[in-house]
Copies of this chain bind each other. A is one copy, B any other.
Amino acid sequence: MKKLINSPDTVVVDALRGMVAAHPSELSVDLDQRIVYRGTPKEQGKVALVSGGGSGHEPLHGGFVGLGMLDAACAGEVFTSPVPDQIMAATTAADRGAGVLHVVKNYTGDVMNFEMAAELANAESGIEVASVVTNDDVAVEDSSFTAGRRGVGVTVLLEKIAGAAAEEGLPLAEVAEIATRVNAQGRSMGMALTSGTVPANGKPSFELGAQEMEIGIGIHGEPGRHREALAPASEIAKRLVEPVLEELPGDGEVLAFLNGMGGSPLLELYIMYDEVAKLLDQAGVKVARSLVGDYITSLDMAGCSLTLLRLDEDLTRFWDAPVNTPGLRKGI
């Protein structure tokens, strides 16, 4: 295993320390609880967004803490859910008197632990918590980490869009409705050329042949739909666009999000995006907004995922709203 780490045991806390060192005025971090907070909390009376999950998907979630997105993010061990106490602490600290939205990816541990934390925060501090569970991955029903569909790329878009709704001062029920709508209107599909390596395991999570790729892979390297021979970008794009379009509800404009899995260079992501854009054009789907880059990764896995989100007036407006986080910034 070749990694820029000190020890597999300290990966998460070392990275959190580096993150706050790199963004000292933007973020603060509770290293004991492994929670990233905004450097300056938002105003009282606005809904707070709390998310989190296993580490290894950076910039998700800690990198999305800041103006227009999250208020706090809980980091679990690599590919392991944060614990209820940790999530409760984040929820309590982030609350600004208007309730808290939990953004949870659909993995069994995450769902259970966020649910428990929500109940505890409500019972102990009277904080109103609403939750949205993302399950946008069309690749498989159920998998090694999940009952139902996995939560993947839509989580990034949801944190941005619901974050903007909260920043605007919408009440909890409305922020939760916007978040639920993003999940309902978004679909994703991923693929891998190589496996990532979990530091504590020291070897790749799975083996792919030198001329093989896996279609429908999860962000923890969970099995996808099938393996097949390596193909040109134009063919890979079809494997992603077709199943996503098949399940995408509604009609009208979309946001197209081509996400890198951590080990693929930007040059290749742009090549993939070009192929995706051509296919969407051929299918008569108008791309109104787009995002290309590494936003929800799987350590050093080479590969990419496509998320399409059917836009409406609200979602577009909140997508276009200001955002200023280490992982996602809008231009001035």
Residues of chain B within 8 A (CB-CB) of A196 are 265
Partner of A329, one of B193, B264, B268, B331: B331
Please determine whether A21 and B273 come into contact, CB atoms closer than 8 angstroms.
yes
B270 and A22 form a contact (CB under 8 A): yes
Residues on B with beta carbons closer than 8 Å to the beta carbon of A194: 2
Q: How far, in angstroms, from A277 to B21 measured CA to CA in the complex?
A: 7
Chain A contributes a number of interface residues (CB within 8 A of B) equal to 67
CB pair B329–A4 under 8 Å, yes or no, is no
- Judging by beta carbons under 8 Å apart, are A271 and B14 in contact? yes
Nearest B residue (CB) for A63: B266
B266 touches A4 (CB 8 A): no
Interface string of A292-311 (1 = CB under 8 A from B): 10100101101110000000
Set of chain B residues within 8 Å of A274, measured between Cβ atoms: 14-15, 17-18, 21
| A98 to B304 alpha-carbon distance, docked (Å) | 43
| A4-31 interface (Cβ within 8 A of B) | 4-7, 11, 14-19, 21-23, 26
Q: A267 at interface (Cβ–Cβ under 8 A)? A: yes
Assess the A300–B263 pair: CB atoms within 8 A.
Answer: yes
Which among A52-60, A105-113, A154-162, A176-184 touches the partner chain? Answer: A52-60
Would you call A101 an interface residue if the criterion is a C-beta within 8 Å of the partner chain's C-beta atoms? no
Partner of A331, one of B4, B22, B67, B265: B67
- Cα–Cα, bound, A185→B139 (Å): 51
Q: Which residues of chain B come closer than 8 Å to A7, judged between CB atoms?
A: 232
Cα–Cα distance between A3 and B236 once the two chains are bound (Å) = 11
B266, A263: Cβ atoms closer than 8 Å: no
A269: interface (CB < 8 Å):
yes
Chain B hits for A272, CB < 8 A? 4, 18
CB of A204 within 8 Å of the partner chain: no
Task: Tell me if A268 and B4 are in contact (CB < 8 A).
Answer: yes
A160 to chain B, nearest CB (A): 14
A138, CB-defined interface residue at 8 Å: no
- In the docked arrangement, what's the CA distance between A58 and B267, Å? 6
Specify which of B6, B19, B270, B322 is in contact with A58 (CB 8 Å cutoff). Answer: B270
Q: Is A219 part of the binding interface, using a Cβ–Cβ cutoff of 8 Å? A: no
Quick check: B59 and A269 within 8 Å, CB to CB?
no
Provided the pairs A58-B267, A271-B4 are in contact, do residues A233 and B193 lie with their beta carbons within 8 angstroms? no
- What are 14 contact pairs spanning A and B, CB under 8 A? A2-B210, A2-B302, A3-B268, A4-B193, A4-B268, A4-B271, A14-B233, A17-B274, A18-B271, A18-B273, A19-B270, A58-B266, A58-B270, A66-B331
Shortest Cβ-Cβ A-B pairs, 5 listed: A18-B274, A324-B331, A18-B270, A4-B268, A58-B266
- Taking A18-B277, A21-B290 as known contacts, 7 extra A-B pairs with beta carbons closer than 8 A to each other, sorted by chain A number, are A2-B193, A4-B268, A5-B268, A14-B271, A18-B292, A59-B266, A330-B332
